[in-house]
Amino acid sequence: MIQVLHISAECYPAAKTGGLADVVGSLPKYQSESGVLSAAIIPKYALKWMHQHEWVTVYGGSIRVDWRTVGFTVQQEKNNTLGFPFFVVDIPGLYDRPGIYNDPSGHPYGDEVERYIVFQQAVLQWVLSFPEHERPRVLHCHDHHTGLIPFMVKYCPQYNGLAMIPTVFTIHNGQYQGMFGRSSLHLMPFFESSAFGLLDWNGIINPMASALRCAWAVTTVSETYLYELHQSSLGLEGLFRDEWRKQSGIINGIDARVWDPAIDPSIQYRLENNDIQAFKLKNKKVLCEWFSLPEDQPIISFIGRLVGEKGCDMLPDAYRNYIHAGGKASFLVLGTGEPWTQNQFRSMTYQYPGRFNAIIDYNEGLAHQIYAGSDYLIMPSRVEPCGLNQMYSMRYGTIPIVHTVGGLKDTVPDIGEPGGNGRGIRFDQFNLGDIGWAIHRAASMWHSDPHAVATIRERIMALDFSWERTIEQYFTVYRNAGAAIRAERRPTPPKQVEAPVEAAKKSEKLIPKETTTGTPAKKAAKADAATKKTNAKPSKKK
């Protein structure tokens, strides 16, 4: 019986734009393995992964929206590829589109409000169809896209049969609250009018605020981020403070099987005999060759969405200043996002050949190689609820350079702090001076103290960021919210058809379609050949 149902807009590898997907794609797996069977459900987008997998329809229904009726089906992925029961809601007309939030030209879909209201209801209608004793014991909602569920089960008579199931709401990103005006209220299912105040926040319907009030428990993905939300959360500060009793911060884990340098199929050289230096050196050579960077300088990489929240708009100037001041480090960027930032990075590739290169693409496989081959990973995030990239990079011996914020603060103590347990380099103020100084510290340590670099690499690679460490904290939250979850006999491990990374690798080339280097085609061909070579021969890896 499914004990925990995770409801979300993203789940890796089926549909991903960011860390939310990574969490929803791995937390249920580890919960299930520890005996608490957990499942996930997301909308069925018209994405490649959806087409490549087989689906079994498990439920069909319809939702009334305003004057229309929208039909939907719930489908389960047939082969249990993700290692836990994975469901999608197929809603023709609303989600059969090639993007998750935006159309291919980058514009957000205009009917977001309707899409999420229908998705949430479809999930609830499906859960209502379960015999009572087989219903999940917790509805675990992630981010604003699912923020109306705690309200709906309490105050919409249609879904009231689920009111006794505890709802847990996890905030991965408090910047997006899903707000909409009263003029769209007619899209909501009928609700008790006296409950209107639980939807409304300062004259606007705010799903995140509603979840904060209606969910039985609220979590965020790090303790520091929870504290920050109490100080600044786009107008919800008072609400966060009022509801503090039911809140907790739980740092995310990472899927230590997908992110394992000893077996990762997406990297050119795997970790063998725990020889960290050789692992780093060989993978760095690969990056230097692919992206025309020198080997005698540290490579500082940025991976992620090129959006303001991640602070990457500071990097062009920070890098220019550093290079013009004669600094000896080179820089790599992988990601897509805001046009201004993309263009800055594109032109810098031509301005600083051999020092800077940008790959304007979303490429999971290449990201693994960059984690393995870089010396440093920079995360200048303005806001970072948890951050997973710093954990991935540490796992691959790449030292993080981070802004002291949110989960970055909780996971990356500075190497200069007393105690000798530092993991990276931090800067406290979000300005060019501080970022520049952090880059300078990193590069000069690399040039002058290779021993220190080696020691830090060893230390960070030995860290345990796996979910096993943290899922107990979620179980405690569920139990405190009154959910009768219990570990059952460990289920036989579900059939793992194909490791997600393997699948991702097959469906994409390691080298992206668009690099801003002069000879992308040649490099791509080289990279492809190299991949085939290294992955073909079974090496002596552990």
Binding status of residue 384 toward ligand GLC by CB under 6 A = yes
Selected binder of ligand GLC within 252, 390, 516, 531 (CB under 6 A): 252
Residue nearest to ligand GLC (CB): 19
Piece of the chain touching ligand GLC by CB under 6 A; list 16-24, 75-83, 204-212, 277-285: 16-24
Piece of the chain touching ligand GLC by CB under 6 A; list 269-277, 321-329, 365-373, 378-386: 378-386
Binding status of residue 23 toward ligand GLC by CB under 6 A = yes
Selected binder of ligand GLC within 15, 20, 293, 358 (CB under 6 A): 20
What are 63's strand-pairing partners? 70
CB 6, min distance to ligand GLC, A: 12
Nearer to ligand GLC, 337 or 387 (CB): 387
Nearer to ligand GLC, 114 or 384 (CB): 384
Crossing angle of helices 315-324 and 432-448, rounded to 10°: 50
CA 250 to chain centre: 15
Nearer to ligand GLC, 207 or 436 (CB): 207
Q: Which amino acid is at 528?
A: D
3-state secondary structure of 78: coil
Q: How far apart are CA 304 and CA 385, in angstroms?
A: 14
Residues 204-223 that bind ligand GLC (CB under 6 A): 221
179, two tokens? 């707000």
Piece of the chain touching ligand GLC by CB under 6 A; list 313-321, 386-394, 497-505, 509-517: 386-394
In 241-328, DSSP assigns E strands to 247-249, 299-303
Piece of the chain touching ligand GLC by CB under 6 A; list 36-44, 208-216, 260-268, 385-393: 385-393
Query: Which single residue is written with the structure tokens 């689906």?
Result: 55
Selected binder of ligand GLC within 172, 213, 355, 403 (CB under 6 A): 172
Do residues 386 and 251 make contact, with C-beta atoms less than 8 angstroms apart? yes
Binding status of residue 380 toward ligand GLC by CB under 6 A = no
Selected binder of ligand GLC within 99, 387, 422, 500 (CB under 6 A): 387
Residues 347-366 vs ligand GLC: string with x where CB under 6 A? --------------------
Query: Which single residue is written with the structure tokens 């009022």?
Result: 242
* Count of C-beta atoms within a 10 Å radius of residue 450: 11
Q: Which amino acid is at 272?
A: E
Piece of the chain touching ligand GLC by CB under 6 A; list 186-194, 229-237, 311-319, 384-392: 384-392
CB 383, min distance to ligand GLC, A: 7
Binding status of residue 337 toward ligand GLC by CB under 6 A = no
Q: How far apart are CA 255 and CA 258, in angstroms?
A: 5
Question: 55 to each of 44, 59, 317, how far by Cα in Å?
Answer: 11, 12, 48
Number of residues in contact with ligand GLC, rule: CB under 6 A? 14
Binding status of residue 386 toward ligand GLC by CB under 6 A = yes
Nearer to ligand GLC, 138 or 221 (CB): 221
Binding status of residue 173 toward ligand GLC by CB under 6 A = yes
Q: How far apart are CA 293 and CA 361, in angstroms?
A: 19
Q: How far apart are CA 347 and CA 319, in angstroms?
A: 13
CB 17, min distance to ligand GLC, A: 8
Binding status of residue 19 toward ligand GLC by CB under 6 A = yes
Do residues 467 and 253 make contact, with C-beta atoms less than 8 angstroms apart? yes
- Cβ within 8 Å of residue 255, ≥6 positions away: 22, 25, 26, 29, 466, 467
Kindly state the DSSP code that residue 161 receives in the 8-state scheme.
G
Torsion sign over Cα 479, 483, 486, 490: negative
Nearer to ligand GLC, 230 or 328 (CB): 230
Selected binder of ligand GLC within 2, 10, 18, 481 (CB under 6 A): 18
Q: How far apart are CA 519 and CA 202, in angstroms?
A: 54
Binding status of residue 442 toward ligand GLC by CB under 6 A = no
| Site residues for ligand GLC per CB under 6 A | 18-20, 23, 172-173, 221, 252, 384-388, 407
